[in-house]
Structure 1
Amino acid sequence: MKFEKSPYFEKLKPYKLELPFGNYYLCPNFFIGELFEGVHFDWEKTEILVKEIIKFYGEFKPIAFISNRINSYSVDPQNWIKIVQKYNILVASAIVAYNNSNYINASLEKHFAKKSIKRCLSLSEAIGWVESLEEFN
């Protein structure tokens, strides 16, 4: 389910960040990413995104990330390691997988990440998990 079509969109009233490779929805303690079909999310795109995220939240605010995988695209799993090494802004991430292939890819990415990654089957599950993180309560 697209975030904009979910009941959470009206409730959270996020800032929408539109980038050439996807849309991002910036909420108080987390942001949701929806990459476009066929994108390869490499380090160059990651740095563009992270710079925008830091511009919005600041350098020191702990935040979480939800990858809402409504489209088919590829991700360089090394990005997870590099983000922690260079920026260290994420406290945790959730990946919403809508099919078996996405779930398997999320499992692979989980092995590369230094921070917690939760694999979820719905946007609701991901948002609930992120909102319950001790860093935000």
Structure 2
Amino acid sequence: MTNTTPDQLNDKKTTTTLETDLGTFYITGGILMLEAKEDTFISFKTGLPTLLKLSQIMGTRPVVYISHRINSYSVDPTDYKILEKIPTLKGIAVVNTNPNGIQSAKLEKIFFKKPFKIFTDLEIARKWATTLLES
């Protein structure tokens, strides 16, 4: 992880990077973006150590998670029921240009009751995330 102060984490221009077994996390302000490794399986069980580390980094400020799906990987959609209980998690965006990936994200959306949007453009997803954090 890059060395970043808490003030820098609130700065929308500063990005902190965290390399994990799951992939690379990019933290900019309250936006947490993951680019997962190819063929990774992400579940609450496989992601718990990373989730705990990210909780330490993010603290109690509101967060929007962006899943930037540039690689093919699997998730356990039933775990969204656990994630929606995290009070600081305000919403999830999935960015994918693959039609099959978009269909998978539509299925995942069923399991998450907080805001969940699917995008084909990362910048539009970031704008949505910023708006959600400001509301």
- Where does residue 73 of structure 1 map in the other structure? 73
Decide whether the 8 Å contact of 2:81 with 2:111 is kept in 1: yes
- Where does residue 107 of structure 2 map in the other structure? 108
Could you list the structure 1 runs, at least 4 aligned residues long, displaced by more than 3 angstroms after superposition: none
Structure 1 residue 74, shift from structure 2 partner = 0.4
- The count of residues paired between Structure 1 and Structure 2 equals 124
1:71 aligns to what SS in structure 2? Answer: coil
1:132 aligns to what SS in structure 2? Answer: helix
Decide whether the 8 Å contact of 1:92 with 1:115 is kept in 2: yes
Q: Aligned partners of 1:136 and 1:52: how far apart in 2?
A: 25
Decide whether the 8 Å contact of 2:69 with 2:94 is kept in 1: yes
Q: Aligned partners of 1:107 and 1:93: how far apart in 2?
A: 12
Q: Aligned partners of 2:107 and 2:58: how far apart in 1?
A: 28
Decide whether the 8 Å contact of 2:22 with 2:37 is kept in 1: yes
TM-score of the superposed pair, with normalisation by structure 2: 0.85
Q: CA RMSD in A?
A: 1.4
- Where does residue 136 of structure 1 map in the other structure? 134
Q: Aligned partners of 1:136 and 1:49: how far apart in 2?
A: 26
Deviation per residue, 1:32-67 (Å, 9 max, x gap): 001000001011233222211111111x21110000
1:23 aligns to what SS in structure 2? Answer: strand
Unaligned regions of 5+ residues in structure 1, if any? 1-10
Matched, 1:55 2:56: yes
Q: Aligned partners of 1:44 and 1:14: how far apart in 2?
A: 27
Decide whether the 8 Å contact of 1:77 with 1:112 is kept in 2: yes
Structure 1 residue 78, shift from structure 2 partner = 1.1
TM-score of the superposed pair, with normalisation by structure 1: 0.84
- Return the structure number with greater helix share: 1
Q: Aligned partners of 2:130 and 2:40: how far apart in 1?
A: 28
Unaligned regions of 5+ residues in structure 2, if any? 1-11
1:56 aligns to what SS in structure 2? Answer: helix
Identity of aligned residues (%): 29
